[in-house]
């Protein structure tokens, strides 16, 4: 039993132990679970505790980010708005007063809106608050803050004045309560007529006037072609009307009429540059009205809250107005020369078959005033006292024509009789290689060389003949028809401009007579052959030279009168007397009042303006274009440059039948040389007459050098005798340079004469040409007086003169006076026919009479420096003025 009990106990114990063990195990597991759960709970709790802080931080971060982005965007927008505002209102339209100065817009550029304050959009980026006024609308101011409104008015007006060319804004003030006190700073503008006030009863008249201006501008300036002055300016670059700003500062209730007129101005003024700045009277609502309100809570422009700028400093206002008035009082600023030019891609597009038309300036309504040369009117007269702008007008006209017509359509010949070189720029110069491709000839400093004017007229007369012959051959009468039947021919229109042409017609001598005859013929017949004359004169005498020839004057139907010009227009037409500076009356009706058109002439004369155009046209020139011939009366030509000298050559064999001696340059259009032919014929000798050493030496030097060029070495003899020490350098240089030259002086000159005279009869004497170059030969009279072998040297000299030329022995001698020459030839009654040609220097025409020159009384010759009169009885009917060539070395 005990065992069983023991066994039972043991079993129970075992079972209990097992139970305890498993309970323990379970407990351990439960405890683990508990710990894990606790830990989880703690973790979860910890996590749960962390959540709100993180979310909050994230939310704050996101909010801050949005804030920053917003601020940056706002700043960016504000910056862009400010940039746009500054573009819309550049320079003086929006600059701060501290650095403010006028910055006028160019004419095609809109003046833009005007700043009155700032809009506070972003703290660091104030945006200008702009008010559209000029070309845009009207401003209405309201509010009790009088100082504030005055500040806005001054700011608007000063900015408007500073944003436009001086004189382009005209202000009218109506201030019945303070009688203009509010605009006091602008008073200096009044001195230039840019600010006027109307008195307390004058509002109606002021409004009537504004309405009338609007009507006139619409009708005559815009004329249905442009919607507004702003469009006109953008399209044409011209702004013919000023801006008119009426500042109306309160007053009584408006009458019905005034109200009606005010409403009209509000509706229609902006397109015509008529604007209102109004306080103390109502304006109707409309898209052109900007309202600026000043209330206790702040100012508003339209609906935008605005911080108004301080008023401009008083000194800035008065100084600016004073400067503007001074500029206006100094005269209108010239319109730019480029106004006269077509766009670059339209240059040289015009056809001149029927005429030449180009603008010369701007008319009062801003339209171009055109000048035409053609069948009608064919020729022009330009007149105006010195300094009124004739030269400038000629430049402007030439530029306007040359930019429209190519050199194949138009050629210019230009002659300036007054001193000065301004026209030289048309020809190629040392400073600037360009030339005007249309220019064929420029004559400057020709004041004493009227022959050059004559030469030009002769040249044109020849061209006229050529054209008339061609027209006849083609059985047509006019240039347009000739061009139609001969399309490949070169028939440009020719415009010949002669400035100070009265010089050409002055006096009663042969030059004046021939010039007037040629002018008359050219004026009458040139019209149909495309040859046009433009004559300019500062002097009424110039015109009077024409009055004696009514047929000539009648052809000049185009008249251009500069300020104060007399007698250019018809007798009762005094329009030129009241012309402002830089204007001209253009009249294509022979000066009758009905034909008057007033033009404002641009400034075209200054070098920079001109050279831009000339360079452009020069680059466009045809490849074979040659520069214009420049004749400068003050220049001394050089033999080596003379085309005729360059063309001289020696024959390969034998001797030329008639070598030529070049004596100087002829005053003509082609720069030809005066030539003396020396065939084997009686009288082929040359006498140079006068006391001027340099010119005399120059003539003999050129003659000898040109002759030498026509002989092979050894082919001719040159005997040089110099009897005046002043001539020595030239004679010596000649002796050194010529191959077969012999030298003689006072001691040996008798030998030369003896040997030469005695050799004339020798057999074969006529083989080699022999030229005797005798410098101051009259000084040899003593040496030649001695009798040798029964004859004096002078007798031998006469023999050489007489018999030499037929034996190729020619005397080229300088006598220092006609009387001395006659003495050497045998006395005052002696024959002179052995002197077949002469060049007179300072020898008066009268001395050259008897037997040296056809007719009685001698030639019309008034000696002048570095000129000579050449007469060759074998070829000339009248003397020919020459310019000796300058020293060869
Ligand atoms: N339309 C113009 N706009 C601006 N300046 C001008 C204009 N016309 C002339 N001038 C200036 O006036 C001055 C005189 O002009 P210009 O030489 O053309 O006169 P002119 O009548 O030919 O005088 P003169 O006969 O004495 O030579 C020059 O300095 C010129 O630049």
Of 72 and 686, the structure prediction assigns the larger pLDDT to 686
The closest residue, in CA terms, to atom 25 on ligand 1 is: 386
With a cut of 70, say whether residue 398 has pLDDT above it: yes
Strand partners, 197: 173
Please tell me which of 231-240, 652-661, 818-827 the model is most confident about, judged by mean pLDDT. 818-827
With a cut of 70, say whether residue 332 has pLDDT above it: no
Which atom of ligand 1 sits closest to the CA of residue 602?
1
- Check whether 391 is labelled as a binding-site residue: yes
Helix (H, G, I), strand (E, B) or coil at 610: helix
The closest residue, in CA terms, to atom 4 on ligand 1 is: 603
- Check whether 477 is labelled as a binding-site residue: no
Q: How far is the CA of 358 from the centre of ligand 1 (A)?
A: 20
Kindly give the pairing relationship between strand 629-632 and strand 439-444. parallel
Which atom of ligand 1 sits closest to the CA of residue 384?
21
Whose tokens are 């917003």? That residue is: 70
Confidence class for position 544, pLDDT limits 50, 70, 90: low
Q: What is the distance between the alpha carbons of residues 527 and 774, in angstroms, rounded to a whole number?
A: 52
| CATH T-level topology, domain 99-325 | Rossmann fold (3.40.50)
With a cut of 70, say whether residue 180 has pLDDT above it: no
Q: Are 882 and 674 in contact (CB under 8 A)?
A: yes
Which atom of ligand 1 sits closest to the CA of residue 603?
3
What does the pLDDT look like over 465-490, one tens digit per residue? 999 999 999 999 999 999 999 999 99
Q: What percent of the chain has pLDDT over 90?
A: 59
Q: How far is the CA of 390 from the centre of ligand 1 (A)?
A: 6
The closest residue, in CA terms, to atom 31 on ligand 1 is: 605
Q: Are 350 and 369 in contact (CB under 8 A)?
A: no
Q: How far is the CA of 579 from the centre of ligand 1 (A)?
A: 15
Judged on CB neighbours under 10 Å (0-12, 13-18, 19+), 429 is middle
Q: How far is the CA of 367 from the centre of ligand 1 (A)?
A: 23
Q: Are 870 and 695 in contact (CB under 8 A)?
A: no
Half-sphere exposure of 262 (CA within 13 A, CB side): 24
For residues 447-463, give the mean pLDDT: 91
What mean pLDDT, rounded, does the chain reach?
90
Of 107 and 133, the structure prediction assigns the larger pLDDT to 133
Using CA atoms, how far residue 592 sits from 87, 361, 364, 576, in Å, is 51, 20, 19, 12
224: Cβ–Cβ under 8 A, 6 or more apart, which residues? none
What does the pLDDT look like over 559-615, one tens digit per residue? 999 999 988 898 888 899 888 889 999 999 999 999 999 999 999 877 788 889 999
Between CA 636 and CA 641, with CA 638 as vertex, the angle to 5 degrees is 135
Q: What is the distance between the alpha carbons of residues 875 and 676, in angstroms, rounded to a whole number?
A: 9
188: Cβ–Cβ under 8 A, 6 or more apart, which residues? 318, 321, 322, 324, 325
Token couple for 86: 């500054």
Nearest in space to 346 (alpha carbons), one of 408, 397, 403: 403
Q: 99-325 with 639-647+659-883: one CATH topology?
A: yes
Using CA atoms, how far residue 99 sits from 105, 165, 713, in Å, is 18, 19, 82
Q: How many CB atoms lie within 10 A of CB 206?
A: 21
- Check whether 761 is labelled as a binding-site residue: no
R_g of the chain computed on alpha carbons: 48
Q: How far is the CA of 363 from the centre of ligand 1 (A)?
A: 19
Q: How far is the CA of 6 from the centre of ligand 1 (A)?
A: 154
Q: What is the distance between the alpha carbons of residues 496 and 532, in angstroms, rounded to a whole number?
A: 6
Q: How far is the CA of 517 from the centre of ligand 1 (A)?
A: 31
Helix axes 749-759 and 793-803, enclosed angle (nearest 10): 50
Whether the full predicted model's pTM is greater than 0.95, yes or no, is no
Confidence class for position 504, pLDDT limits 50, 70, 90: confident
For residues 7-19, give the mean pLDDT: 76
User: What lines the ligand 1 site, CB under 6 Å?
Assistant: 334, 384, 386-392, 538, 582, 601-603, 605
Token couple for 91: 């320079």
Confidence class for position 160, pLDDT limits 50, 70, 90: very high
Largest CA distance in the chain: 216
- Check whether 385 is labelled as a binding-site residue: yes
Give me the sheet containing 439-444, strands edge to edge: 368-374, 355-362, 596-600, 583-587, 558-561, 380-383, 531-537, 493-499, 410-416, 439-444, 629-632
Domain ranges of the chain: 2-88, 99-325, 337-623, 639-647+659-883
Q: Are 666 and 792 in contact (CB under 8 A)?
A: no
With a cut of 90, say whether residue 78 has pLDDT above it: no
Which atom of ligand 1 sits closest to the CA of residue 335?
3
Whose tokens are 């001086």? That residue is: 166
Q: What is the distance between the alpha carbons of residues 224 and 219, in angstroms, rounded to a whole number?
A: 7
The closest residue, in CA terms, to atom 8 on ligand 1 is: 389
Helix or strand (DSSP H, E) at 380? strand 380-383
Q: What percent of the chain has pLDDT over 70?
A: 97
Which of 331, 390, 391, 562 most suits a substitution to test ligand 1, by most atoms within 8 Å of the C-beta? 391
What does the pLDDT look like over 17-38, one tens digit per residue? 787 788 788 888 888 888 888 8
With a cut of 60, say whether residue 834 has pLDDT above it: yes
| CATH T-level topology, domain 337-623 | Rossmann fold (3.40.50)
Using CA atoms, how far residue 117 sits from 155, 164, 304, in Å, is 9, 20, 11
Q: Are 254 and 281 in contact (CB under 8 A)?
A: yes
Helix (H, G, I), strand (E, B) or coil at 382: strand
Q: How far is the CA of 386 from the centre of ligand 1 (A)?
A: 8
Confidence class for position 174, pLDDT limits 50, 70, 90: very high
**pLDDT of amino acid 384:** 92
**pLDDT of amino acid 729:** 96
Helix axes 693-708 and 728-737, enclosed angle (nearest 10): 10
For residues 696-707, give the mean pLDDT: 97
DSSP 8-state class, residue 123: T
Cis? peptide before 585, omega within 30° of 0? no
Please tell me which of 225-239, 421-435, 473-487 the model is most confident about, judged by mean pLDDT. 473-487
Token couple for 352: 């001149």
CA 275 to the chain's CA centroid:
37
The runs of H, that is alpha helices, within 760-817 are 781-785, 793-803
With a cut of 90, say whether residue 216 has pLDDT above it: yes
With a cut of 90, say whether residue 71 has pLDDT above it: no
With a cut of 90, say whether residue 358 has pLDDT above it: yes
Q: What is the distance between the alpha carbons of residues 398 and 384, in angstroms, rounded to a whole number?
A: 18
Q: How far is the CA of 778 from the centre of ligand 1 (A)?
A: 53
**pLDDT of amino acid 541:** 57
What does the pLDDT look like over 849-861, one tens digit per residue? 778 898 888 888 8
With a cut of 80, say whether residue 888 has pLDDT above it: no
Kindly report the CATH number that applies to the domain delimited by 639-647+659-883: 3.40.50.300
- Check whether 318 is labelled as a binding-site residue: no
DSSP 8-state class, residue 885: P
Of 422 and 33, the structure prediction assigns the larger pLDDT to 33
69: Cβ–Cβ under 8 A, 6 or more apart, which residues? none
Helix (H, G, I), strand (E, B) or coil at 564: coil
Kindly give the pairing relationship between strand 493-499 and strand 410-416. parallel
Query: Of how many residues is the chain composed?
Result: 889
813: Cβ–Cβ under 8 A, 6 or more apart, which residues? 685, 686, 687, 688, 772, 773, 774, 777
DSSP 8-state class, residue 603: B
Residue 865 backbone dihedrals phi, psi, to 5 degrees: -60, 140
What does the pLDDT look like over 862-884, one tens digit per residue? 899 999 999 999 999 989 999 99
Strand partners, 788: 791
Return the HEC string of 310-350. CCCCHHHHHHHHHHHHHHHHCCCCCCEHHHHCCCHHHCCCC
Helix (H, G, I), strand (E, B) or coil at 275: strand
Nearest in space to 756 (alpha carbons), one of 773, 739, 736: 773
The closest residue, in CA terms, to atom 26 on ligand 1 is: 386
Q: Are 105 and 163 in contact (CB under 8 A)?
A: yes
**pLDDT of amino acid 654:** 73
With a cut of 70, say whether residue 889 has pLDDT above it: no
**pLDDT of amino acid 73:** 83
Q: What is the distance between the alpha carbons of residues 714 and 265, in angstroms, rounded to a whole number?
A: 97
Nearest in space to 778 (alpha carbons), one of 805, 748, 749: 749
With a cut of 90, say whether residue 831 has pLDDT above it: no
- Check whether 418 is labelled as a binding-site residue: no
For residues 213-227, give the mean pLDDT: 92
Which atom of ligand 1 sits closest to the CA of residue 420?
27
**pLDDT of amino acid 2:** 62
């Amino acid at each position: 039993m005990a065992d069983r009990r023991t066994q039972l106990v043991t079993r129970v114990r075992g079972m209990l132990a097992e139970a305890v063990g498993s309970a323990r195990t379970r407990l351990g597991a439960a405890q683990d679970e508990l710990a894990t759960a606790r830990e989880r709970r703690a973790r979860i709790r910890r996590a749960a505790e962390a959540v709100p802080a993180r979310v909050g931080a994230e939310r704050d971060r996101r909010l801050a980010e949005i804030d920053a982005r917003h601020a940056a965007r706002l700043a960016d927008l504000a910056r862009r708005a400010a940039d746009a505002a500054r573009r819309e209102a550049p320079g003086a339209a929006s600059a701060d007063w501290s650095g403010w100065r006028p910055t006028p817009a160019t004419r095609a550029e809109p003046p833009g809106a005007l700043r009155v304050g700032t809009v506070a959009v972003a703290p660091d980026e104030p945006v200008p608050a702009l008010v559209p006024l000029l070309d845009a609308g009207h401003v209405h101011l309201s509010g009790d803050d009088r100082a504030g409104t005055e500040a806005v008015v001054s700011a608007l007006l000063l900015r408007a004045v500073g944003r436009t060319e001086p004189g382009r804004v005209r202000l009218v003030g109506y201030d019945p309560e303070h009688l203009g006190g509010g605009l006091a700073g602008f008073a200096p503008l009044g001195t230039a007529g840019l600010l006027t006030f109307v008195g307390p009863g004058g509002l109606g008249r002021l409004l009537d006037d504004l309405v009338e201006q609007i009507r006139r501008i619409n009708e005559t300036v815009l004329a249905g072609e442009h919607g507004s002055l702003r469009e006109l300016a953008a399209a044409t670059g011209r702004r013919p009307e000023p801006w008119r700003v009426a500042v109306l500062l309160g007053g009584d209730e408006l009458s019905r009429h005034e109200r009606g007129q005010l409403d009209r101005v509000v509706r229609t003024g902006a397109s015509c540059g008529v604007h209102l700045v109004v306080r103390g009277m109502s304006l109707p609502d409309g898209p052109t009205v900007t309202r600026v309100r000043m209330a206790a809570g702040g100012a508003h422009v339209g609906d935008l809250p605005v911080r108004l700028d301080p008023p401009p400093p008083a000194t800035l206002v008065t100084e600016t107005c004073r400067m503007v008035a001074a500029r206006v009082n100094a005269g209108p600023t010239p319109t730019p020369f480029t106004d006269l030019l077509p766009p670059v891609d339209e240059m040289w597009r015009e056809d001149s078959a029927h005429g030449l038309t180009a603008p010369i300036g701007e008319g009062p309504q801003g339209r171009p005033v055109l000048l035409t040369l053609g069948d009608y009117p064919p020729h022009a007269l330009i007149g105006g006292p010195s300094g009124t702008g004739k030269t400038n007008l000629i430049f402007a006209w030439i530029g306007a024509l040359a930019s429209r017509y190519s050199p194949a359509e138009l050629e210019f010949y230009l002659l300036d009789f007054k001193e000065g070189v301004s026209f030289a720029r048309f020809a190629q110069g040392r400073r600037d290689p360009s030339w005007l491709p249309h220019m064929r000839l420029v004559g400057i400093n020709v004041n004493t060389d009227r022959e050059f004017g004559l030469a030009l007229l002769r040249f044109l007369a020849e061209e006229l003949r050529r054209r008339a012959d061609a027209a006849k051959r083609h059985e047509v009468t006019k240039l347009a028809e000739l061009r139609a039947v001969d399309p490949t021919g070169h028939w440009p229109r020719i415009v010949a401009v002669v400035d100070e042409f009265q010089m050409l017609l002055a006096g009663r001598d042969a030059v004046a007579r021939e010039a007037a005859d040629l002018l008359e013929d050219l004026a009458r017949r040139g019209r149909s052959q495309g040859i046009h004359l433009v004559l300019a004169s500062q002097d009424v005498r110039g015109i009077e030279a024409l009055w004696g020839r009514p047929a000539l004057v009648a052809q000049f139907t185009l008249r251009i009168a500069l300020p104060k010009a007399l007698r250019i227009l018809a007798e009762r037409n005094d329009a030129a007397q009241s012309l402002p500076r830089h204007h001209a009356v253009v009249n294509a009706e022979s000066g009758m009042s009905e034909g008057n058109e007033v033009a404002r002439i641009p400034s075209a004369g200054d070098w920079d303006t001109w050279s831009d155009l000339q360079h452009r046209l020069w680059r466009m020139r045809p490849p074979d274009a040659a520069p214009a011939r420049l004749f400068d009366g003050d220049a001394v030509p050089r033999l080596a440059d003379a085309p005729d000298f360059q063309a001289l050559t020696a024959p390969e064999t034998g001797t030329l039948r008639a070598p030529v001696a070049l004596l100087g340059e002829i005053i003509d259009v082609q720069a030809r040389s005066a030539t003396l032919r020396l065939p084997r014929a009686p009288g082929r000798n040359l006498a140079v007459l006068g006391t001027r050493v340099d010119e005399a030496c120059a003539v003999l030097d050129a003659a000898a050098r040109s002759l030498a060029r026509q002989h092979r070495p050894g082919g001719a003899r040159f005997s040089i005798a110099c009897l005046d020490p002043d001539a020595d350098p030239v004679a010596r240089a000649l002796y050194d340079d010529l191959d077969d030259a012999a030298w003689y002086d006072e001691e040996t000159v008798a030998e030369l004469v003896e040997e030469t005279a005695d050799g004339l009869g020798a057999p074969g004497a006529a083989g080699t040409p022999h030229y005797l170059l005798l410098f101051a030969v009259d000084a040899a009279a003593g040496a030649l007086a001695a009798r040798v072998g029964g004859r004096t040297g002078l007798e031998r000299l006469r023999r050489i003169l007489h018999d030499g030329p037929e034996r190729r022995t020619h005397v080229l001698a300088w006598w220092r006076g006609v009387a001395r020459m006659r003495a050497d030839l045998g006395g005052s009654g002696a024959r002179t026919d052995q002197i077949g040609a002469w060049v007179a220097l300072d020898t008066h025409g009268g001395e050259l009479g008897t037997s040296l020159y056809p007719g009685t009384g001698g030639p019309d010759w008034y000696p002048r420096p570095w000129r000579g009169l050449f007469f060759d009885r074998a070829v000339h009917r009248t003397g020919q003025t020459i310019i000796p060539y300058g020293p060869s070395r």
